[in-house]
Each structure stands twice: as structure tokens, then as C-alpha cells.
Amino acid sequence: MEVNQQRELKQGSFSIECLNEKNQKWQNSISRLKPIYRKSDDIRSEFARDYNRILHSTAYRRLKHKTQVFYATNNDHVCTRIEHVNHVAAISHTISKYLGLNTELVSAIAIGHDLGHPPFGHVGEKILEKIINDNGIDSRFWHEGNSLRFVDKVETLPDFSGNEQNLNLTYAVRDGIVCHCGEVDQNVLYPRKEFIDLETIQKASEFQPYTWEGCIVKISDKIAYLGRDIEDALAYKILTIGQKRELIKLAENCIGKFKITEINNTVLIHDFIIDLCRLSNPEDGIKFSKEYLELMKAIKDFNYKNIYYHPRLLHYKKYAELVITSIYEILRGYYKDQDTLAQIIKDKEFYPVLTSHFEDWLMKYSNANSRTSKDKRFQNQVLYMIEDNRDYQQAIIDFISGMTDHFAIKIFNEITSF
């Protein structure tokens, strides 16, 4: 596939916009919700610290068993959510390095951007949203917002004394995570100027990222999944060779005169990166050429028609709903004001894995733990008043959203077995 030749590549074209000490957004961008512990001889930058904190979090580890497109895959070569975030990190690093932006910032945003994805991917997201709506829970569920919730309130790391503390990431990384939605078909991205309270954001794509680096991750998220989803669909025979030829023809029609002999992840990522680097500059924004924007939309439409809505995935969606709603209903049934924890403990004989893990969750994040006993190591934020039914239901949503596909299935098998 040939690249658009209308404009020469210009390395470092965003150097003046790089988020560093000279940038007027620097102090806002490196601010944290509270001061973070550090050693005097730490050699890392603020964003490198964030990258490490995300990398060592349990939410990042669980991404290896979370759905990208095909759930609970037993094929080692099919993409999971952890591979996806690393694809995004690689693409955004390549683009930002060439354009002269802060590569440490894009890397931290990229590996953290999907930490709040629930089990079963976007299907799980819709199921949890439906549960919230059906049960009058005073919250919304969208994975970008849940990713911010997890890095701000849920995930912890031990400090130098072994006490568990929240990740407490910088504003620029948190902002890039909550504003990363890549599903909007728009050609030009500019960062917003306003320094806002990120917890006031109510929905995906309500605001653009605060930094150019956040914009790079947002567009890289889109580049990353299109080609890989096609490769995985071919591996599972969701797509036929004939449909692949159809896609190649479709791509030729978008690009115009250029002959295309192959369309795969390697080709698509390379060509989209080159086109983006060729067309983008601080005046015109982060953008694709008209031809490649049309190609991206065409591939996305093709994937929805032939992959994401494929009949073979319909039964999986029904199964995912059964798994998630069953777990929710079991846990919801334990609520009994101040005696809720006792009700959970009583059922350990029947559901030992579910009740033990949920008890641990409440002990860490609710007021059920006085934190004067052996668990005084927990210095993270208290999220739930256990006697409050709304808080308790939010605890269930958070607990389920952190699960992997495999763990959710394990719990479902436990509650349906005798």
C-alpha cells in the first residue's frame, strides 16, 4: 500500500509543544491529588514513575485474561486486552518520538488507558451499564470513566513501609486515560486548553485530552485494533479469504490509484502512522489525509459488519450476560445493613471463592474494616459505607468490573455447581 505523497515527513514538528518544563501546562500536568512518597535518589521522571506504578498494579496484570474481541481465548496467539494496550503503547511511542513529543507520558497513558475494562470487553461494559440502569444505582458505567476510578481509587501499591496506598498518578496521565475514547470518527485532534476536575467528566469523548500526548494515545488506540482484529478473525475463521479480498478491494477504492497486495496488521499500522506523521502539525492538529480517514472508517464499518456482529459471537454475548448478572444477583442478595458482612461469611460453605474474594474486597475498601487490626496496612481511600445500599451495590459493580473473563467464569461455575 503506497503512502500519500502530497506532503513531506518532517521530524520533530511538535517539539515546541512537547510537555516538558518549558510548557505552560507543565505544573498542572505533573500535579497529583496528594503528595507522593519518594526516595531522594530516585532517577525517574514523574511520568516514568506513573508508568512503573501502572505496570506493577494488579489491574494491569489482569488485562492478560480480559477480552479484546474474542472472550476467554485459549489460543495463545489471539489478542487479549494486555496485548492491545501494549500495541497502543508501541504505536503512540513511535508517533510521539518522531513528532518530538514526550514519549514517557504517552507510554504511561497507553498502558493504563484500559485498566477499567470489565470482563468480556465491550459486551461486559454494556451488561454492567444495563445492571446499573435496571437497579437504579446512582452511577454510570463507561470503561474510560471506570479506568480513571480504578487508577484513582481502587488500585494500590505498597509503599516503602509495606502500607497499601492509591496509585496517585499525575494529572496528565489520568487525563489521557479518561479522555482516550478512540471511537469518534473525527479527522482533527487538538488538546483542550482548560484544566478541569476530571471527576466531573460524565461520558466518553465529552472532552479532548489536555495534552498533545493524550491526543496521540487517543488516535493510536484506533490504529491499534483495526488490523489486529482482522488477523484474529481470520485465525478463528470468522472471516473468509474471500472477505479479505473484499476488504483489499475496499481499501484500494479508498486510497485510489495505488495497488494493494496485502492488508494485515503490519501494513495498516505502518501506513496509518506514516500518513499521520506526514499530515500532522501544531497548526493543523493531529490528523489523517482524507484518503486514510476514509480507509479507517471503511475498515471499522467492515469489522462491525463482519466480525463484531458475527453470528458466532451472539451466543457468547448471551453467556457473558448470564455470567455477570448471576454474580451480581448473588452478591446483591447478601445485603442486610450492618449485618451484610456476616451474611456473606455465612455462605462460604456454598460459594467459598466468591464470598472470600468479595469479603476481602469489602475489608479493603469499605468501613467494615476498622483498620486497627492486622489490616491497618490499608491506607487507601475508603469507598463504601457498607450499611448504605447504594454504596454496597457500587461495591459489587467495582468488584465485577475488575474480574478477568476466566475468574468470572470460575465464579459462575461455582455458583451453578452442586
Mean pLDDT (10-residue bins), the chain, 418 residues: 58 95 97 89 93 97 92 82 96 97 98 96 94 86 94 93 91 97 74 96 92 97 89 89 87 73 82 94 94 90 91 91 97 93 91 96 87 67 92 96 96 94
Residue 121: inside a domain, yes or no? no
Residue 141: inside a domain, yes or no? no
174 & 267 share domain: yes
Please answer whether residues 215 and 286 qualify as being in contact, where contact means their C-beta atoms are separated by less than 8 angstroms. Answer: yes
pLDDT at residue 384 in the model: 94
Predicted TM-score (pTM) of the model is 0.93
pLDDT at residue 110 in the model: 98
pLDDT at residue 182 in the model: 60
341-347 LR contacts (CB < 8 Å, sep 24+): 341/368, 341/386
pLDDT at residue 123 in the model: 94
pLDDT at residue 163 in the model: 86
Please answer whether residues 142 and 204 qualify as being in contact, where contact means their C-beta atoms are separated by less than 8 angstroms. Answer: yes
Domain of residue 225: give its range: 15-115+155-309
Residues near 129 by Cβ (< 8 Å), separated by ≥ 6?
140, 141, 142
Residues near 125 by Cβ (< 8 Å), separated by ≥ 6?
117, 118, 141, 142, 143
Q: How many other C-beta atoms lie within 10 A of the C-beta of residue 236? A: 15
At 234, which CATH number?
1.10.3210.10
41 & 169 share domain: yes
Residue 4: inside a domain, yes or no? no
Residue 165: inside a domain, yes or no? yes
386 & 337 share domain: yes
Closest CA to 62 of 399, 412, 415: 399
288 & 210 share domain: yes
79 & 212 share domain: yes
Residue 130: inside a domain, yes or no? no
